[in-house]
A and B are shown apart, each in its own frame.
Chain A
């Protein structure tokens, strides 16, 4: 870039609320999204700590909440993590920031829709928080008691409980409904941007794999999100007007709600995990100084996963009273997801072959992701298998499997991506030693928290239990201790990043010697990204070629 050595104004200036909140710049929107979702990550994380504190010992010895209070804690943990943190997750933050620069564009296709998406997110978040407004928590008989209007339905809002519950189901479902539009707009924007705004020479098969992953996730965002919107609207109508969609007492069918709900909520886990896989595919080649192995296989497997993700929701209903042949077919289809997933893992690992590998913090996260994600993926097998799922369904095995995909997968990749691109975002380096300490705390704490939960599941411990039988005590205790370390790790991880943003060593334009476009612009990038639209002549992952030419 010709402008690299000239004076330029980084996108971070000027500051001020107005300049940011009304900005249509994709980088600013990405950063606002990032801090917004991190606030909710903190809140939902504290709920998780409360859940694990309650489960340290069986109730007879120790209790912090009554059962109702515990149910509220796990519900808020799940609902906030899913709808306010991990669905926007990587696409709205790193995706917004990087996608246009990676394809050589000055912004997304619809910058004003982009800021609208963020505003809608804020409105949706306010609706969710609204459900908590009212009387404050109190202490009765030494137990923390939460007000009756706090949500206690679980993040899944299963009917008819969610119709009968006296909690503020309507503000939360309304919030999730509104948040859906934010997600749809982001997806729409990305798809159009990728189709129309690629720089000259940036052919589909030169696109960074992160872009392929965002593209696949965006398709799901556009196609699946309307379903949850309609479902939640029906649920609100059911509560207010008592029409009889889902309530058996009114002639409705509660299982219909489960079908509707998972028709969105299964594909949505791929909105969460596909961009994470994309982040890993970006980090690996840079730190191994190797072309990504099997580029097309990885790119197309993202699309394959997105496609198959729409046809597997029934595995959430394996013990719900669904018909014999439905279960049979959904089991078969669920196994189909395993194939593109396995292909990705094999290709990532092969990328390391004959490389020159630096284990800096981002690379630790990328390899940590592969380690944890193999566990997440493999433990999906006994859940897809009909005979064994009947036993494992709704036990802690599912809880552990899900957290290995979502925290071990998505969150680990998000953090790895933040470490990797932080020098680009802020133009400053994080502290390498503290970065590594943070990773190992997270890695060890996370495994200590969730490995015991697989065993609890094999022992038959049901999920969403405020109390448990004595024989589960040791494993629950171990899991809680692990969870506290896991939680503490984030203090170190984000402390390091926040410190770096202000005081870190000034980073060069391309500190990790990456070949992709975002590293050709100054750090932090100027408001318009590129002075002139770049012309792309090579593949993004041409590592190792010049040395061997």
Chain B
């Protein structure tokens, strides 16, 4: 994954260059300070209890030097450190840029493309083209971090935030959520797949992946939209009720009423999870998927649930 100093973007390379010089600087000052300290500790160790010591109280010259020198150094680091960042924060306006809307929600990422296609967890982008991410959260704070591209920005419910990159090397790159967002924060992972021009053409024509059956697509969504984080498919207890044997099961609601789970109940619970909660499960855990999943996707997930008997 993110091995040190192997950024796959030009901008990432610039960041690494700064990172590298800062490491050298840190090591230099650390060694310099502590070598002097340890030398003095040994050189002036007590040899006899009544040993004479110098009454020296300070030196204006030294104070002046070690005020001015660090000031110059940190000023230079600041200026040196603005460059790559400034580029990072200036969104490209190239004609051929790709703008993707990123939605963060507990605990998965979804991506909407200009042509209307929606991906979950896995983002596909063309090699060598600038990609601008327009990001928004539907629940709590998240943060979109692609270590190999050296970019990160929080994903916030009240405003859009932006991020951009231009990846030059095809491959799959890790995405982390880096703002604590609750139980499955550490499972809110994703991938950015950088496709070669040929693969990108295939992807745009829906030829890159085989066509899936509704159940297969439902199973994929179960993982990618992070249903799996809270609903097991083998009956084991988790944050939410298990999907095993869910269809047709009689469940007691928080208000004591009994409901037999059917298609209508599942659609309602996916869109508005807090309306009819199964007893024993706290409200507010599951985000609403209303508008986050298409009707067809919801049907496919239900088709998948039906297979878990």
B-to-A contact residues, CB < 8 Å: 1-4, 14-15, 18-19, 22-23, 25-26, 29-30, 33-34, 36-37, 40-41, 44-47, 50-59, 62-63, 66-67, 70-71, 74-75, 77-78, 80-86, 88-89, 139-141, 143, 145, 147, 150-154, 156-159, 161, 174, 176-187, 236-237, 239, 282-285
Query: Are B157 and A356 within 8 A (Cβ)?
Result: no
* 9 closest cross-chain pairs (CB), A and B: A460-B147, A385-B81, A248-B157, A386-B85, A465-B186, A354-B54, A352-B40, A544-B53, A460-B2
Asked if A462 meets B40 with Cβ closer than 8 Å, knowing A381-B26, A391-B147, A471-B1, the reply is no
The prevalent SS among residues of B at the interface is mixed
Query: Are A161 and B40 within 8 A (Cβ)?
Result: no
Query: Are B22 and A295 within 8 A (Cβ)?
Result: no
Query: Are A371 and B34 within 8 A (Cβ)?
Result: yes
Answer whether residue A537 sits at the interface, using C-beta atoms and an 8 A cutoff: no
Answer whether residue A14 sits at the interface, using C-beta atoms and an 8 A cutoff: no
Asked if A394 meets B2 with Cβ closer than 8 Å, knowing A291-B56, A320-B156, the reply is no
Asked if A338 meets B74 with Cβ closer than 8 Å, knowing A252-B158, A293-B58, the reply is yes
CA–CA, A466 and B30, complex, Å: 32
Q: Chain B nearest CB: distance from A126 CB in Å?
A: 26
CB-CB < 8 A to B58: which residues of A? Answer: 293-297, 347, 350
Query: Are B44 and A288 within 8 A (Cβ)?
Result: yes
Query: Are A381 and B22 within 8 A (Cβ)?
Result: yes
A-to-B contact residues, CB < 8 Å: 66-68, 71, 140-141, 148, 152, 154, 158, 160-161, 164-166, 248-249, 252-255, 288-297, 319-321, 324, 327-328, 331-332, 335-336, 338-339, 342-343, 345-347, 349-350, 352-359, 367, 370-371, 374-375, 378-379, 381-382, 384-388, 390-391, 393-395, 458-460, 462-469, 471, 541-545, 547-548
Q: Chain B nearest CB: distance from A425 CB in Å?
A: 25
User: Chain A residue with minimal CB distance to B83?
Assistant: A387
CA–CA, A465 and B54, complex, Å: 53
Q: Chain B nearest CB: distance from A498 CB in Å?
A: 29
CB-contact partner of A387 in B15, B45, B176, under 8 A: B15
Asked if A353 meets B178 with Cβ closer than 8 Å, knowing A248-B158, A293-B56, A460-B2, the reply is no
User: Chain B residue with minimal CB distance to A341?
Assistant: B70
CA–CA, A464 and B186, complex, Å: 8
Given A71-B183, A166-B285, A356-B53, 18 more A-B residue pairs with CB atoms under 8 Å apart are A66-B183, A67-B183, A71-B185, A158-B179, A158-B180, A254-B141, A255-B156, A292-B57, A293-B56, A293-B57, A294-B57, A321-B154, A357-B40, A357-B41, A394-B152, A394-B178, A394-B179, A462-B178
CA–CA, A387 and B23, complex, Å: 14
Asked if A391 meets B66 with Cβ closer than 8 Å, knowing A349-B33, A355-B44, the reply is no
User: Chain A residue with minimal CB distance to B76?
Assistant: A335
